[in-house]
């Protein structure tokens, strides 16, 4: 079970006037047998009653031991409720929170972490000491119940030489059960106000979940606080509820097939002529999992599902979420939505399928840089387009309302969202303060508590004049209310509540009147900037309807410009859809910019991750690749290793013993330089980082490194990386460290002796590539050093890593092989086989045999997937790492891990097997896994972006795992374009070396090279898979390659694939990626 729950049902029969008892019991034990025994025991309702009685008796004994009366315990629990769910009546004055300008880092100077809830107790005389003693008992009681908080006692007594109150506070604390927790996290902190700055006192008040004034009267008196009176608008009076005059609403039954005009329609969605993925929802139909779009620019972005749910961020998708990120594919909850209410009838609906789902149809179109939601309700047609500006940190929503009925529509539009301004709403809601900016009719929100974003101002702005607003989530939803039926929309307006100490939200309400056959556009902007003036500038520039549409259109055109760089047309449309649009879009919008999706949201750069992603953009947007290469180089330590991942705003990240991260820098630079012909990048100087190295018993450190004064050229950075990575173990192979490409194998070499066969292949590839660059720069010493290391690894693999039918994956610290026929689990691993071909370092006969074994044991033709390894880890005595924590057949543990599966496609193409390479590619093509209703029900996830993994677990064979946020997208693009279609650019020369199915008669590629266009027609008259290519350019025969010329002209290239018996080995030797 992938998302397990408890759901038990029992039938009971109750006679008239009778009663029955049902006991619900939850228990935890370490053995299944004991669980069965307990279940049998508590199946008897008398056993459950006895357990409750014993529990009560034990609680009473515990209270006696603590000297706590039952009534006091009830008070402590009541107070704990307000600590966990703060109430404005028990928090400090709103003014204190609003005045505070300090963040969590300022608490550290007071010796308080700020990681735990704070109860602030103020005392100004010894009269309040009984209250202090009671709070110390409360704190002890809470600890026993598992509730952790910082009890901060603030002595407000003016300075005096005697210090009687200070002395008594300290003595009382030392005599209490909390003496050992003085000035410790989750403990007791006694501070004197006269020794603190006024802003520090304001900070403590602002941070406090509960503030108690120690007056000696006890908690009972404090908790009798009358609370805050709710002053909400009156109930909405509807005169014509549920009455719609006959004939005023046009009835146009939609008899058209929703799949008309769509490619690959599966009953729910398909691709339209514009390349959008179009989803049709009717009745209660929703996809088996959310089908989302990830829309980003370098500064901000959002996720939106087919139901309209999602999240928005600015700056960083982890640290500064403007609205909540919900990792919940079952409920797909909404926290940013638009409500429409017909004020004549009281009808309430949303232009999206969530949170209010109507039986009438919805049409959703996910495109590159935007999504559109179309719906009709009682003669009112709505079209909501959501997109982003190319550069500004703002989400732009344009709602078009068209009145197709015969009567005037008087509507109330309410835009609702929940503020986060940090990582999670649960952590930040107590520090958010809101305000309403009259000049722009917008709501602003700030969170000073986070030092990274203390100056950032979030905003929500709507183009209509705001009639009502509130920032009080409790007012909008109602006590225990739901987003699908908010209490505030049963009332006539909103209260205008703003400020701090409330559960924050944003609700902006406008009135809209639309005459028959008229339409209205409403613009909604959601974003953040570094000052209120910057916010007002963005609003003034982008809120007009024409400006909002122009901004989104410009971003859409920028995407189309990238897609138009290379356009392919082959006999297989599903192949073309992924190459021409979706894989490139996924790699840039999600992986490079958003770094977030439904199943994972990190906001961080992974050193190896985004470097690999950037390789896909060397044609369409080479600046993306260049900029990221320089960014990655800046995260390298003086010693040569790198941050495994880091957050861009702060630079904080982890230093690890992963063995492959650093090698990706020279590997990716080689690809970029060869295609872009930018050898000047080698001479760019970038400083190194400095930080303490890991101790032998440490495997990672999360910290903020310093930028050193030492700089090195990119060439030097690459050499330093390769020298650091080129280690040697007992078998002559490189040490695996705390993991190589497969992070989950983090215990194979935990003692520092384990070795990686795959890393040896990868180093052979990269060392030999980089030796060429060293040679071009006249660095003979480095050239010879690189080649010697590569040859040494090749010899070691040949001597120690061949298992008889395939290559082993690694060696454990004790020298035991991993990925061997002698292994009890993980007998064969994919990447050790595929890279024997990709690297060109394997003996040809063994590389062929290795790929045959891979196809035999790891390719599931029946389920159309390629496993990473088999059998999965489950009960092996050799602990490989956290990979074994996954269920067998899930993610890296024996499922298809698509990133590695695409290397199988690449290796197969390099061996010249075009039929099998294309067949394997199509196994990985998500479109082919959701081609009809039956396959949709199995695969479940989006059919237009590649999934990171596809399960082989029992009961879940063929189910897609997490989508969007995967490095598979860029490798899918490259495998299709460079390996199968054979499009290989080296500087200003273009090689066409296809490896295609022999049934293909040909294909075309249109390539925009700077100001010129090359129309390439590949012909396959002899039914070849690969072979010699005869080239003509503008009717003139050329040898080997096309010279790319930036002359602004349209050139026609013909490439004819001809028979050549030596084509396959030549391809594997010369066309290596």
Q: Coil, strand or helix: which one is 801? A: coil
Look at residue 508 and tell me if it is in a domain: yes
**Residue 658 CA: distances (Å) to CA of 612, 632, 700, 736, 868:** 16, 16, 9, 7, 20
User: Which residues are CB-neighbours of 405 under 8 A, at least 6 positions away?
Assistant: 248, 249, 250, 378, 379, 380, 516
User: What pLDDT, in 10s, does the model give residues 730-783?
Assistant: 999 999 999 999 999 999 999 999 999 999 999 999 999 999 999 999 999 999
Containing 532, the helix (H) or strand (E) segment is helix 532-542
Pick the residue with more confidence: 536 or 248? Answer: 536
- Would you say residue 1073 has pLDDT above 60? no
Q: What is the 3-state secondary structure (H, E, C) of 166-227?
A: HHHHHHHHHHCCCHHHECCCCCEEEEEHHHCCHHHHHHHHHHEEEEEECCCCCHHHHCCCCC
Task: Dump pLDDT digits (tens) for 1055-1072.
Answer: 999 986 544 444 444 444
Provide the 3-class DSSP secondary structure of residue 758.
helix
Q: Is 965 found in the same domain as 953?
A: yes
Distance CA 281, CA 267 (A): 9
Distance CA 607, CA 646 (A): 8
Given 833, 856, 879, the domain boundary residue is 856
Secondary structure letter of residue 282 according to DSSP: -
| pLDDT of the residue at 249 | 52
pLDDT recorded at residue 161:
66
Q: What is the pLDDT of residue 357?
A: 94
Find the mean pLDDT for residues 85-102.
84
Vertex 175, ends 173 and 176: CA angle to 5°?
65
pLDDT confidence of 256, banded at 50, 70, 90? low
Q: Do 185 and 128 share a structural domain?
A: yes
Residue 1070 has what pLDDT?
Answer: 41
Given 979, 995, 1012, the domain boundary residue is 979
Per-residue pLDDT of 122-158, as tens digits, reads: 999 999 999 999 999 999 999 999 999 999 999 999 8
pLDDT of 371 reads: 99
Of 261, 256, 281, nearest in space to 271 by CA: 261
Q: If DSSP codes are grouped into helix, strand and coil, which group holds residue 283?
A: coil
Examine residue 917 and state whether it is found in any structural domain, yes or no: yes
For 59, the domain range is 1-65
pLDDT at 224 exceeding the cut of 90: no
Task: For 155, list phi and psi in degrees, rounded to 5.
Answer: -85, 110
Tell me, what's the pLDDT at 245?
Answer: 47
pLDDT at 488: 97
- Token pair 């960014």 is found at 631
> Please, how many CA atoms are within 13 Å of residue 528, restricted to the half-sphere of its CB?
28
How many Cβ atoms from other residues are within 10 Å of residue 824's Cβ? 12
- CA pair distance 632, 645, nearest whole angstrom: 10
pLDDT of 240 above 90: no
Residue 962's closest CA among 938, 946, 983, 981? 946
In a domain, 91, yes or no: yes
466 lies in the same domain as 346 = yes
Q: Is residue 678 part of a domain?
A: no
The answer on 912 and 822 residing in a single domain is no
Task: Report the CATH number that the domain containing residue 99 is assigned in CATH.
Answer: 3.40.50
933 and 876 assigned to the same domain = yes
Residues 219 and 139: their CA atoms lie apart, in Å, by 13
- CATH number of the domain bearing residue 848: 1.50.10.10
Is residue 865 in some structural domain? yes
Q: What pLDDT does 2 receive?
A: 78
> Do residues 169 and 191 both lie within one domain?
yes
Residue 242 has pLDDT above 70, yes or no: no
Three-point CA angle 297, 362, 321, nearest 5°: 30
Say how many Å lie between the first and final Cα of the chain, rounded: 40
Whether residue 369 is found in the same domain as residue 456: yes
Residue 939 lies in a domain: yes
| DSSP secondary structure, 671-722, as one string | HHHHHH--GGGGG-EEEEEE-PPPPTT--EEEE-PEEEEEEEEHHHHHHHHH
- Cβ atoms of 536 and 457 within 8 Å: the answer is no
pLDDT at 255: 53
CATH of the domain at 1013: 2.60.420.10
Q: What is the pLDDT of residues 1021-1047, one digit of tens each?
A: 999 999 999 999 999 999 999 999 999
In tens, the pLDDT along 339-387 reads 999 999 999 999 999 999 999 999 999 999 999 999 999 999 999 999 9
Residue 98 and residue 49 share a domain = no
Smallest Cα–Cα separation from 611: which of 492, 780, 766?
A: 766
At 176-194, the pLDDT tens digits run 999 999 999 999 999 999 9
Q: How many CB atoms lie within 10 A of CB 843?
A: 14
Q: Are residues 949 and 1039 in the same domain?
A: no
Query: What does the pLDDT look like over 961-977, one tens digit per residue?
Result: 999 999 999 999 999 99
Q: Are residues 166 and 313 in the same domain?
A: no
Alpha carbons 436 and 100: distance in angstroms, whole number? 18
pLDDT of residue 250: 54
Q: Locate tokens 């608490």: which residue?
A: 107
Q: How would residue 336 be classed by pLDDT, with cut points 50, 70 and 90?
A: very high
The pLDDT value recorded for residue 1059 is 84
pLDDT, mean of residues 95-102: 84
Q: Considering Cα of 765, then 770, then 775, then 781, what sign does the dihedral take?
A: negative
Beta bridge partners of 687: 711
16-56 tens-digit pLDDT: 999 988 888 888 898 889 988 888 888 887 888 888 889 88
Number of structural domains, the chain? Answer: 6
Give me the count of residues in the chain: 1073
Quick check: 78 pLDDT over 70?
Answer: yes
Q: Percent of the chain beyond pLDDT 70? A: 96
Host H or E run for residue 381: strand 380-388
The reported pLDDT for the residue numbered 1016 is 98
Order across the sheet with 605-606: list the strands: 605-606, 643-646, 653-656, 700-703
pLDDT digits (tens, 9 = 90+) for 435-449: 999 999 999 999 998
- Per-residue model confidence (pLDDT) at position 437: 97
Mark whether 836 and 873 lie in a shared domain.
Answer: no
Q: Categorize the per-residue pLDDT at 95 as very low, low, confident or very high, splitting at 50, 70 and 90.
A: confident
81-109 b/e with 16+ CB inside 10 Å = b? ebbeebbbebbbebebbbbbebbbebbee
Q: At what angle do helices 714-725 and 664-676 cross, to 10 degrees?
A: 140
CA geometry: angle 961, 963, 966, nearest 5 deg = 110
Eight-class DSSP state of 236:
P
DSSP letters, 73-101, are HHHHHHHHHHHHS--GGGSPPHHHHHH--
Q: Are 433 and 505 in contact (CB under 8 A)?
A: no
The CATH number assigned to the domain holding 550 equals 2.70.98.40
Q: Give the residue carrying structure tokens 């063995």.
A: 659
- pLDDT by residue (tens digit) across 907-946? 999 999 999 999 999 999 999 999 999 999 999 999 999 9
* Average pLDDT of the residues of the chain: 93
- Is the pLDDT at 399 greater than 90, yes or no? yes
Judge if 407 and 449 occupy the same domain.
yes
965 falls within a domain: yes
Residue 616 domain-assigned (yes or no):
no
pLDDT(579) > 90: yes
Kindly indicate the confidence band of residue 62, based on its pLDDT and cuts at 50, 70 and 90: confident
- Overall average pLDDT of the 877-901 stretch: 95
Whole-structure pTM value: 0.93
Last residue of a domain, one of 65, 86, 112: 65
Q: Is 1048 exposed, middle or buried (0-12, 13-18, 19+ CB in 10 A)?
A: exposed
For residue 935, the number of C-alpha atoms closer than 13 Å in the C-beta half-sphere is 15
């Amino acid at each position: 079970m992938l998302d397990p729950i408890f759901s038990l049902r029992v039938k009971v029969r109750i006679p008239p006037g009778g009663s029955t008892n049902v006991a619900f019991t939850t228990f935890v034990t370490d053995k299944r047998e004991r669980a069965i025994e307990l279940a049998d025991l508590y199946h008897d309702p008398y056993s459950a009653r006895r357990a409750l009685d014993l529990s009560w008796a034990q609680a009473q004994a515990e209270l006696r031991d603590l000297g706590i009366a039952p009534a006091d315990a009830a008070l402590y629990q009541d107070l704990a409720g307000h600590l966990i769910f703060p109430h404005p009546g028990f928090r400090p004055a709103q003014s204190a929170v609003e005045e505070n300008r300090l963040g969590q880092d300022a608490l550290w100077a007071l010796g308080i972490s700020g990681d735990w809830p704070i109860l602030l107790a103020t005392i100004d005389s010894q009269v309040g000491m009984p209250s202090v003693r009671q709070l110390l008992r409360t704190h002890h009681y809470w600890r026993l119940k598992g509730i952790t908080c910082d009890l901060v006692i603030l002595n407000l007594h003016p300075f005096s030489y005697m210090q009687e109150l200070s002395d008594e506070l300290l003595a009382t604390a030392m005599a209490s059960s909390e003496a050992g927790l003085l000035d410790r996290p989750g403990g007791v902190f006694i501070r004197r106000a006269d020794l603190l700055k006024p802003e520090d006192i304001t900070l403590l008040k602002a941070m406090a979940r509960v503030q108690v004034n120690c007056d000696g009267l006890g908690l009972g008196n404090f908790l009798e606080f009358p609370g805050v009176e709710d002053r909400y608008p009156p109930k909405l009076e509807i005169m014509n509820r549920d009455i719609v005059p006959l004939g005023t609403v046009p009835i146009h039954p939609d008899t058209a097939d929703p799949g008309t005009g769509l490619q690959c329609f599966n009953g729910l969605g398909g691709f339209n002529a514009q390349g959008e993925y179009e989803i049709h929802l009717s009745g209660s139909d929703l996809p088996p999992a959310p089908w989302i779009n990830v829309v980003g620019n370098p500064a901000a972005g959002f996720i939106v599902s087919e139901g309209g749910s999602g999240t928005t961020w600015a700056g960083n998708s982890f640290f500064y979420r403007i609205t909540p990120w919900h990792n919940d594919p079952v409920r797909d909850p909404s926290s940013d939505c638009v409500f429409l209410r017909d004020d004549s009838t009281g009808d309430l609906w949303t232009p999206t399928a969530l949170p209010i789902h109507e039986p009438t149809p919805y049409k959703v179109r996910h495109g590159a840089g935007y999504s559109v939601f179309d719906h009709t309700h009682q003669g009112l047609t709505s079209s909501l387009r959501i997109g982003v500006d190319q550069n500004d940190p703002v989400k732009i929503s344009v709602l078009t309302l068209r009145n197709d009925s015969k009567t005037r529509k008087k509507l109330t539009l309410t835009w609702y969202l929940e503020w986060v301004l940090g990582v999670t709403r649960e952590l930040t809601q107590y520090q958010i303060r809101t305000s309403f900016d009259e000049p722009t009719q917008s709501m602003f929100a700030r969170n000073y508590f986070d030092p990274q974003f203390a100056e950032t101002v979030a905003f929500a702005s709507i183009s209509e004049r705001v009639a009502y607003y509130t920032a009080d989530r409790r007012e909008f939803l109602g006590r225990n209310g739901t987003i699908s039926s908010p209490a505030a929309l049963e009332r006539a307006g909103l209260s205008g509540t703003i400020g701090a100490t409330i559960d924050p939200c944003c609700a902006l309400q406008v009135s809209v009147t639309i005459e028959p056959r008229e339409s209205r556009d409403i613009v909604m902007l959601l974003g953040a900037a570094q000052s209120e003036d910057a916010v007002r500038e963005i609003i003034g520039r982008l809120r007009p309807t024409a400006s909002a549409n122009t901004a989104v259109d410009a971003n859409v055109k920028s995407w189309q410009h990238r897609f138009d760089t290379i356009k392919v047309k082959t006999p297989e449309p599903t192949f073309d859809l992924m190459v021409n649009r979706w894989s490139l879009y996924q790699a840039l919008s999600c992986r490079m910019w958003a770094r977030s999706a439904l199943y994972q949201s990190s906001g961080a750069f992974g050193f190896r991750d985004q470097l690999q992603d950037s390789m896909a953009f060397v044609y369409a947007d080479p600046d993306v690749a260049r900029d990221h290469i320089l960014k990655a180089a800046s995260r390298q330590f003086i010693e040569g290793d790198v941050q495994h991942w880091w957050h861009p705003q702060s630079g904080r990240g982890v230093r690890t013993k992963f063995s492959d991260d650093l090698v990706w820098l020279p590997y990716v630079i080689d690809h970029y330089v060869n295609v872009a012909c930018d050898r000047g990048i080698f001479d760019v100087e970038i400083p190194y980082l400095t930080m303490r190295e890991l101790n032998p018993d440490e495997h990672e450190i999360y910290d903020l490194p310093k930028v050193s004064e030492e700089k090195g050229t990119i060439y030097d950075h690459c050499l330093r990386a390769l020298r650091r990575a080129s280690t040697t173990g007992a078998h002559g192979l490189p040490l695996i460290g705390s993991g190589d490409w497969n992070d989950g194998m983090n215990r194979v070499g935990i003692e520092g002796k384990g070795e990686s066969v795959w890393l040896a292949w990868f180093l052979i590839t990269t060392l030999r590539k980089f030796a060429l660059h060293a040679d071009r720069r006249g660095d003979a010493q480095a050239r010879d050093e690189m080649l010697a290391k590569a040859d040494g690894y090749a010899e070691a693999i040949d001597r120690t890593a061949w298992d008889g039918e395939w290559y082993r994956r690694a060696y454990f610290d004790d020298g035991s092989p991993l990925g061997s026929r002698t292994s009890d689990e993980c007998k064969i691993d994919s990447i050790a086989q595929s890279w024997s071909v990709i690297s060109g370092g394997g003996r040809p006969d063994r590389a062929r045999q290795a790929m045959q074994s891979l196809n035999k044991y790891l390719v599931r033709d029946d389920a159309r997937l390629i496993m990473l390894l088999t059998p999965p880890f489950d009960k092996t005595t050799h602990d490989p790492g956290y990979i074994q924590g996954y269920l067998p057949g899930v993610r890296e543990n024996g499922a298809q891990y698509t990133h590695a599966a695409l290397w199988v496609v690449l290796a197969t193409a390099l061996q010249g097997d075009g039929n099998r390479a294309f067949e394997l590619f199509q196994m990985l093509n998500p479109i082919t896994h959701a081609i009809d209703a039956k396959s949709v029900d199995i695969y479940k996830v989006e059919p237009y972006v590649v999934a990171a993994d596809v399960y082989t677990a029992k009961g879940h064979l063929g189910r897609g795992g997490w989508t969007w946020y995967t490095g598979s997208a860029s490798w899918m693009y490259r495998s299709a374009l460079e390996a199968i279609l054979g499009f290989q650019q080296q500087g200003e020369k273009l090689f066409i070396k296809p490896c295609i199915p022999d049934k293909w008669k040909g294909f075309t590629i249109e390539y925009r090279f700077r100001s010129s266009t090359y129309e390439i027609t590949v012909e396959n008259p002899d039914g070849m898979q690969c072979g010699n290519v005869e080239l003509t350019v503008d009717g003139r025969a050329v040898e080997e390659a096309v010279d790319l010329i930036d002359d602004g002209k349209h050139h026609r290239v013909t490439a004819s694939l001809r028979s050549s018996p030596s084509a396959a080995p030549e391809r594997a030797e010369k066309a290596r990626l």
